[in-house]
Amino acid sequence: MHLSQSLHHFKSEFSRQRAWLLFCAIILSFLAATEMGGVTSMCRYWLSDERGYHRLPHFFRAGSYHPERLRASWHRWVLSHAPLVEVAGRSVVLGAHTYVVKDGGRMPGVVSLRETSETQSKPDYFRGQCWGAVGLLVGTLSACFCLPLSLQIPQGFRHLGEEDANDPALKLGTRVVQMALSFAQMNDRPVWLVLDAFFATAPVFRLARSVWSVALQQPLVQVITRAKKNYVAYFPARGPILLMCSDLALDAETILTLYCRRTRIETLFDTLKNTLGAFRFHFWSRYLPRHSRRPTANRHLKAPQAQHLPTVAACWQAMETFVLCASIATGLLQLFSFQYREGLWKQQVLYLRTRSRELPSENTVRQILAPLLARQLLRSPPKAFWWRIREAVNGDEDDEGQT
Run of H or E including 369: helix 362-379
Residues 199 and 95 in one domain: yes
Run of H or E including 244: strand 243-245
| Per-residue confidence (pLDDT) for residue 396, from 0 to 100 | 60
Whether the Cβ atoms of residue 227 and residue 242 lie closer than 8 Å to each other = yes
What is the length of the chain? 403
Comparing 369 with 396, the larger pLDDT belongs to: 369
Q: What angle do CA 137, 366, 50 make, to 5 degrees?
A: 115
Residues 215 and 311 in one domain: yes
Q: Which CATH number fits the domain that encloses residue 325?
A: 3.90.350
Residues 266 and 370 in one domain: no
| Per-residue confidence (pLDDT) for residue 60, from 0 to 100 | 92
Whether the Cβ atoms of residue 290 and residue 105 lie closer than 8 Å to each other = yes
Q: 36 pLDDT band (50/70/90 cuts)?
A: confident
Residues 196 and 323 in one domain: yes
Mean pLDDT in the chain? 89
Least confident interval from 292-296, 348-352, 377-381, 398-402: 398-402
**Distance set, CA 39 to CA 105, 152, 342 (Å):** 20, 20, 33
| pLDDT tens track for 43-66 | 888 888 887 788 888 899 988 999
| Per-residue confidence (pLDDT) for residue 170, from 0 to 100 | 61
**Distance set, CA 378 to CA 3, 56, 347 (Å):** 17, 21, 20
Residues 257 and 316 in one domain: yes
Percent of the chain predicted with pLDDT > 90:
55
Total number of domains in the chain: 2
Cβ-in-10-Å burial (0-12, 13-18, 19+) of 124 comes to exposed
| Per-residue confidence (pLDDT) for residue 214, from 0 to 100 | 83
Residues 119 and 244 in one domain: yes
Query: What φ, ψ does residue 7 adopt, rounded to 5°?
Result: -70, -35
Q: Of the spans 39-43, 53-57, 396-400, which averages the highest pLDDT?
A: 39-43
| Per-residue confidence (pLDDT) for residue 34, from 0 to 100 | 85
Whether the Cβ atoms of residue 385 and residue 4 lie closer than 8 Å to each other = yes
> Which of 339, 361, 376 is a domain's end point?
339
Torsion (CA) 241, 242, 247, 248 in degrees, nearest 10: 140
Residues 320 and 244 in one domain: yes
| pLDDT tens track for 105-122 | 899 999 999 887 766 677
Q: 403 pLDDT band (50/70/90 cuts)?
A: very low
| Per-residue confidence (pLDDT) for residue 351, from 0 to 100 | 77
| Per-residue confidence (pLDDT) for residue 402, from 0 to 100 | 47
Other Cβ atoms within 10 Å of 180 Cβ, number: 27
| Per-residue confidence (pLDDT) for residue 48, from 0 to 100 | 84
Residues 346 and 236 in one domain: no
Q: Strand 144-152 vs strand 125-139: parallel, antiparallel, or unpaired?
A: antiparallel
| Per-residue confidence (pLDDT) for residue 164, from 0 to 100 | 61
**Distance set, CA 157 to CA 110, 213, 283, 298 (Å):** 10, 32, 16, 11
| pLDDT tens track for 18-30 | 999 999 999 999 9
| Per-residue confidence (pLDDT) for residue 92, from 0 to 100 | 96
Neighbouring C-alpha atoms within 13 Å toward the C-beta of 162: 12
Residues 303 and 358 in one domain: no
Residue 261 confidence (pLDDT) above 50: yes
Cβ-in-10-Å burial (0-12, 13-18, 19+) of 295 comes to middle
Euclidean distance between CA atoms 200 and 242, whole angstroms: 11
Residues 176 and 44 in one domain: no
**Distance set, CA 215 to CA 87, 180, 187 (Å):** 16, 19, 14
Euclidean distance between CA atoms 271 and 277, whole angstroms: 8
- Give the predicted TM-score (pTM) of the model: 0.92
Q: Write the secondary structure of 248-312 as one string of H (helix), E (strand) and C (coil).
A: CCCCHHHHHHHHHCCHHHHHHHHHHHHHCCCCCCCCCCCCCCCCCCCCCCHHHCCCCCHHHHHHH
DSSP-derived 3-state class of residue 342: helix
- Of 5, 186, 183, nearest in space to 81 by CA: 5
Q: In sequence order, what E strands does 8-166 have?
A: 86-87, 90-101, 111-114, 125-139, 144-152
Residues 81 and 191 in one domain: yes
Residues 278 and 351 in one domain: no
> Which of 339, 358, 392 is a domain's end point?
339
Torsion (CA) 254, 94, 28, 10 in degrees, nearest 10: 100
| Mean pLDDT calculated for residue range 330-344 | 91
Other Cβ atoms within 10 Å of 383 Cβ, number: 9
Identify the domain containing residue 294 by its residue range.
Answer: 69-339
> Which of 339, 354, 383 is a domain's end point?
339
Whether the Cβ atoms of residue 92 and residue 118 lie closer than 8 Å to each other = no
Least confident interval from 78-92, 156-170, 301-315, 360-374: 156-170
Q: 168 pLDDT band (50/70/90 cuts)?
A: low
Query: What φ, ψ does residue 374 adopt, rounded to 5°?
Result: -60, -45
Neighbouring C-alpha atoms within 13 Å toward the C-beta of 180: 37
